[in-house]
Amino acid sequence: MANRFTHILRAPHQVSFDITNKCNLRCLHCFNSSGENDVVKNELSDEEVLSFIRSLVPMQLYNVCFCGGETLIRKDLLCKCIKELKPSGTHCSMVTNGILATDETIMELEQSGLDAIQFSLDGMEAAHDKLRNKTGVYTSVMRAIHFVINNTNLHLSIAFTPTNFNLDDFEIVYEELAQIWKNSKRVKTGDYIELRLQPLMLLGRAKNNLGIVPTDDQYRRLVQLIREREAYRYSKSIDVKWGDPIDHLIRFKDNNNFLDQAIVHANGDIVVSAYLPIVVGNINKHSLSDYWNHGLNDIWSKRVIQYLVSRMQSIHDMEELTDTIADINMDNGLSFDLMECDLDDLNLIKEVLLS
């Protein structure tokens, strides 16, 4: 049964768009195997990307987040996209590993209209570079973090991926960021740094590097540290957020909530969740607005989606599902077009049902 409130949203609040899946790193934990997945073979051209972005302008979205891959590989295109969106009042954010985030690039992004930027910082130098599978990455990202804090008004987020070799660095990273912020002019603005953590996703390259996954006891200790930090938040200069990557699957499958964001891959594929290998359309076939009006906003009520996400109770179930179907961003995943297929027909996934 569909959620009776789906008609309220004439468009999603947010679009997350992988502007590229090409990458200059091969991180041990990358959930979508950036740089090595099938999407990189058929990415949207610059003109196709700009056409897609222009189609979003009339939707007056709250936020568009540019993801990857490494977003700054297409820096010039990224700046053009932001400039297209800003007149409509859309908030623009992005994620990057920081290697290509020179001072000049960061300033160009802000001048284009970028509002927020997220870097990954997975511990101190030894731990961060080990997870990122390349030396010198820590130095690059710390330089970029310092520059953003001291020379821009960009809202800053930091993603910290827990592993069994970096958990002891969490408090050090927290204190280091807090000190940088405290010594900057930004401390008086009322802004703050978001420090985001979530369990390591057992997808993509992480499935081939299970030796880096924290133990349950390590996770419990980390969550306790996060709770302690949340109690005083270092004068609120650091806001620690612990996320559950399958929370949206558990909530949305019961129709207690309806879809308020759309996720588009670098080849134009529209997916139900960034963590599930289920494609429900492509922007080169129909516009995102057409998909939205044709049922994307109510996708969680469809029996095919309901069945697949009903198997999700933990991140370990995600691993099992991708083993059954395909890994994220691989061509052999489930692919339907909701404007051409009846996603209430469970025969569409008969092979999965029998597995």
Cα 314 to Cα 301: distance, rounded to the nearest angstrom: 21
Convert the pLDDT of each residue in 328-349 to its tens digit. 777 778 899 999 999 999 998 8
pLDDT for 256 equals: 53
Contacts with 123 (C-beta within 8 Å, 6 or more apart), sequence order: 131, 160, 163, 165, 166, 169, 170, 172, 173
* pTM assigned to the model: 0.92
Cβ-based burial of 63 (10 A; exposed 0-12, middle 13-18, buried ≥19): middle
The mean pLDDT of 104-114, rounded to a whole number, is 98
Q: Determine which of 2-6, 115-119, 250-254 has the lowest per-residue pLDDT on average.
A: 2-6
Mean pLDDT over the full length of the chain = 89
Convert the pLDDT of each residue in 24-72 to its tens digit. 999 999 999 999 988 999 999 999 999 999 999 999 999 999 999 999 9
Q: Give Cα separations from 216 to 18, 150, 265 (angstroms).
A: 32, 38, 32
pLDDT for 145 equals: 98
CA 107, 110, 115, 118 torsion-angle sign: negative
Contacts with 287 (C-beta within 8 Å, 6 or more apart), sequence order: 55
Contacts with 16 (C-beta within 8 Å, 6 or more apart), sequence order: 64, 65, 67, 261, 262, 263, 264, 274
Domain limits of the chain? Answer: 11-243, 249-354
pLDDT at 351 over 60: yes
pLDDT at 105 over 80: yes
> In DSSP terms, which residues pair with 67 in a beta bridge?
18
β-pairing verdict for 63-67 and 91-96: parallel
Of the two residues 252 and 238, the one the predictor is more confident about is: 238
pLDDT for 281 equals: 96
pLDDT for 242 equals: 87
CA 71, 44, 37, 260 torsion-angle sign: positive
Contacts of the segment 214-219: beta carbons below 8 A, 24+ positions apart: 214/162, 214/163, 214/164, 214/167, 215/164, 218/162, 218/164, 218/167, 219/162
Q: What are phi and psi of 33, to 5 degrees?
A: 50, 50
Of the two residues 274 and 155, the one the predictor is more confident about is: 155
Q: Determine which of 67-81, 213-227, 295-309, 319-333 has the lowest per-residue pLDDT on average.
A: 319-333
pLDDT for 6 equals: 57
The mean pLDDT of 200-220, rounded to a whole number, is 92
Of the two residues 233 and 111, the one the predictor is more confident about is: 111
pLDDT for 252 equals: 64
Confidence class for position 159, pLDDT limits 50, 70, 90: very high
pLDDT for 241 equals: 87
Q: Are 62 and 90 in contact (CB under 8 A)?
A: yes
CATH class of 11-243: alpha beta
